[in-house]
Amino acid sequence: MEQLLKNNSKYKIFNNEHIIRDDLIINNPIPITDSQILEELYLVIKYTTLFLEKHQIDYCIESGTLIGCVRHDGIIPWDNDIDIMIFKDGYFKLKTLVNEYNKNNFKILHVTPGFKLFYKDIAYGELFLYDYDENENVYRMAYPLINYNGSLEPTFITSDLYYSNQRYKKEYLFPTQMVLFEDFSVRAPNNIKEVLLTTYKKNLLECIYSPNKNNQHHAFKYNHYKLAIIIEKITVNKILLFLYIFINWLISKQIINIY
């Protein structure tokens, strides 16, 4: 029978015992995520953060993973994914370490903008790429620039197109701090409260549950993402090739002049 969580409900993730705080606002009982998924989330975040620490790659937990750390001392018991931010230098370094990461059922896949995390070929979260915007003095989601032949340049553009609520002042993020998450330590922002208020802009004690989000957990697997990336690359290359041919045609007809 599915366990429904409310204030003072108890649950376990491996041997870590938890209780839902009585000060959290839960309007209706929330179904707990399947115990196997919670345990595999635990394995992925522990493996990933230890890997990043080993290779001295800057990161910090964010969004649902961060609020879980604050409210639940670890994973939100109705969550099903992991949110971690990484930065430009770490992004390039991690691209060279994919084969080392991909062991013992753990896999990482480069996607734009960042990396997808997998365990037993099931997607369990993402490393989101952030970069510093000097004009606005904030860190925000970044996208690698692509030149005419499709190779990545060591430059990025930042955008508010999809995540306008995830713009963080430098002093909110750095220096990062080590915090307890379940029974191990991870890096969190310097000012956790301000980061969460910037992201959610509401009462952080209010617990929100999205059935649609949880039901998506097994929808896409590792091979699905790989296929999507291949299709995306083919499409992008076709567009770039068309633009290259079209611009050369314009030049040949002296419609435009590059000099």
Digit-coded pLDDT (tens) for 154-171: 555 555 555 667 899 999
DSSP secondary structure letters along the chain = ---EE-TT-EEEETTEEEE--TTSB-SS-EEPPPHHHHHHHHHHHHHHHHHHHHTT--EEE-HHHHHHHHHHSSS-TT---EEEEEEHHHHHHHHT-HHHH--TTEEEEEETTEEEEEETTEEEEEEEEEEEETTTTEEEEEEEEE-TTSPEEEEEEE--SS-TT-EEEHHHHSS-EEEEETTEEEEE-SSHHHHHHHHH-S-TTB----HHHHHTTTS-BHHHHHHHHHHHHHHHHHHHHHHHHHHHHHHHTTSS---
Distance (Å, whole) CA 131 – CA 143: 9
For strand 82-87 and strand 122-133, is the pairing parallel, antiparallel, or unpaired? parallel
Q: Tell me, what's the pLDDT at 148? A: 43
User: Span 111-130, mean pLDDT?
Assistant: 91
Q: Tell me, what's the pLDDT at 93? A: 96
pLDDT at residue 246 is higher than 50: yes
Distance (Å, whole) CA 251 – CA 198: 48
**What architecture does CATH give domain 4-217?**
2-Layer Sandwich (3.30)
Q: Tell me, what's the pLDDT at 225? A: 60
pLDDT at residue 119 is higher than 70: yes
Q: Tell me, what's the pLDDT at 230? A: 57
Distance (Å, whole) CA 45 – CA 61: 10
Mean pLDDT score across all residues of the chain: 85
pLDDT at residue 46 is higher than 60: yes
Which one, of 164, 110, 124, 125, lies nearest residue 141 by Cα? Answer: 164
Distance (Å, whole) CA 79 – CA 58: 24
Lowest mean pLDDT among 1-10, 18-27, 94-103: 1-10
Distance (Å, whole) CA 199 – CA 168: 9
Which one, of 110, 96, 125, lies nearest residue 233 by Cα? Answer: 110
